[in-house]
A and B are shown apart, each in its own frame.
Chain A
Amino acid sequence: MTYFLQQGLNALQLGSIYALIALGYTMVYGILSMINFAHGDFFMVGAFICFVVVTFMGLPFVPAMILSIIGVSLLGVIVERAAYKPLRQAPRVSAIITALGVGIFLENFTLALSPYPKHIPAIIENTSWTFGGLTISSLQVIIILLSLALMTVLHFIVQHTRVGMAMRAISWDKNVVPLMGVPVNNVISITFAIGSGLGGAAGMMYGMAYPIIDPYMGIIVGWKAFIAAVVGGIGNIRGAVIGGYILGATEIMVAAFFPSTYRDFTAFSLLLILLIVRPYGIMGKPRPQKV
């Protein structure tokens, strides 16, 4: 039982990171109906920014976190303006291929600067507490609580601010929003900033939990988070969070009770079955055709 609860904590930690990344996919999809396949690489850039500011500037946790978030937010905004916006009227497949290209660019750009894997030094004091056989580390506490805090802030922005209202309106019908006097391009930029920033935060936290980082680390994590977003119902914010935690829990639990080589195979089989049962995802709804 203790072992199970202990694994539950690990699942929360991994699930939080997947959820944060999945939010970026789902927000961009919600607003542009486009999958930003470079998002996993945004996540990787977050980890590398953390490495740079910690190693070369000696910054502590909080400023490093802020810089990772801001850096990746900016990256998201620039990529959207430079690479995706010109293709907004083009067939959807062009935007998807461009996103894949941006991802490969980011991987190889980072590879050019950093040909060998890097190690992020520990920036928070590693203490752990034990309650009745259950051990929790300071890093786990930080990852879980900070993720929840970021998700709460996101929820507040989307549900209770003007720009959040505009995001929801765009996800319903992008064409009418300019007629309300809303500058759609600015709202799209803000969406990219927030979604990418969450990915950057996830990259930094992932890099602290698994401190060996390399330019390709975003690929498989990005795919997994994308699948989490789809399982939750792509375009649905709550769905992305639920999908992230389901995926995190499945991976950890499979590895805890079966040989760890079964992990991805089992996790993805489960997700495939979920999608067969609910093709629109857990929170997704088939949108009634508008007449």
Chain B
Amino acid sequence: MGNRIIETDNLTVSYGSIAAVKVISFHVEQGEIVALIGANGAGKTSTLRALSGMTTYGGRVSFMGRDLRGVAAHKIVGMGMAHVPEGRGIFGNLTVLENLKLATWQRRDKKEVAADYDRIFNIFPRLKERRQQSAGTLSGGEQQMLAVGRALMSKGTMLLLDEPSMGLSPLLAQEIFSMLAELNRAGTTILLVEQNANMALRLADRCYVLETGIIVLEGTGKELIGNPQVKEAYLGT
């Protein structure tokens, strides 16, 4: 068994009297790509928000062996967890470069930060071309690249991605997914939330299927692609 980076134990998230996540337990191991799939309202986004400290929750979340209860969201970023939120969360009034720079807030290693800009501009050459442009002028695909770039600038070794394919053409979504695969090969652990189950299952090592706040199925990507239940409900074939 590998090294568990993220582990949740009976995680619950409620908004008022509505339970968005009803008791889920799962884990992500070092170097894995794990996908959470499920329909709208299955609790995927709430799960990610709980992990990154953006919402209160019940149960236990641990990150690299440390209990995250009571740890402020900005401190969790400093520990190496980077959350690319739903809708990307780009600051449209800041330049591309400023968006990247803001994400380095918790870092004190100035030299490495400088090197990381180059690294990110290597992965996403289009961001380099547009670095002085206001981020609001970027296309959807470029904004997604910027959102991932920001996560890397925060020195995220654990990436939480909320619907990275949302609003992108199939071609661009494919491009983003190849980049994720590449980042993963370079050592980044990824937890991915997707409605596009087909792409997510092909990318992921392991996968959890969520339905109305509980995990109904889990398995490797390959297993689930072949699973008739998944096929019918999420792959539409």
Contact = CB atoms under 8 A, between A and B. Distances in A.
Interface of A: 162, 165-166, 168-169, 171-173, 175-184, 290-291
A176 B85 contact: yes
B91 interface: yes
B164 to A, nearest CB: 15
A210 to B, nearest CB: 38
A176 B154 CA distance: 14
A176 B52 CA distance: 11
Contact of A168 (B72, B74, B87, B93): B93
Contacts of A178: 53-54, 72-74, 77
Given A178-B74, A181-B77, 18 more contacts: A162-B105, A166-B105, A168-B93, A172-B91, A172-B92, A172-B94, A173-B89, A175-B85, A176-B85, A178-B77, A179-B85, A179-B89, A180-B103, A181-B105, A181-B106, A181-B107, A183-B72, A183-B74
Contacts of A166: 102, 105
Contacts of B73: 178-179
Contacts of B101: 162, 165
21 contacts: A162-B102, A162-B105, A165-B102, A166-B105, A168-B91, A168-B94, A172-B91, A173-B89, A173-B91, A175-B85, A176-B89, A178-B53, A178-B74, A179-B77, A179-B85, A179-B89, A181-B77, A181-B103, A181-B106, A181-B107, A181-B154
Nearest to B81: A179
B103 A165 contact: no
B22 interface: no
Interface in B105-134: 105-107
The secondary structure that dominates the B interface is: loop
B58 interface: no
Of the four ranges (under 10, 10 to 19, 20 to 34, 35 or more), the interface on chain B belongs to: 20 to 34
A179 B73 CA distance: 7
A179 B54 contact: yes
B98 interface: yes
A172 B101 CA distance: 16
Interface string B73-86: 11001100011010
B34 to A, nearest CB: 19
B206 interface: no
Interface in B155-173: 167
A177 B94 CA distance: 12
Contacts of A165: 94, 98, 101-102
Nearest to A169: B91
Nearest to B135: A172
B42 to A, nearest CB: 21
Contacts of B44: none
Nearest to A176: B89
Contacts of B167: 291
B144 to A, nearest CB: 14
A124 B178 CA distance: 69
A10 B74 CA distance: 48
Contacts of A180: 74, 77, 102-103, 105, 150, 154
Contacts of A173: 89, 91
A179 B83 contact: yes
Nearest to B103: A180
A181 B89 contact: no
Contacts of B52: 179
A151 B167 CA distance: 41
Contacts of B93: 168-169, 171-172
Nearest to A171: B93
A156 to B, nearest CB: 15
Nearest to B102: A180
A79 to B, nearest CB: 23
Contacts of B102: 162, 165-166, 169, 177, 180, 182
Nearest to A186: B74
Nearest to A178: B73
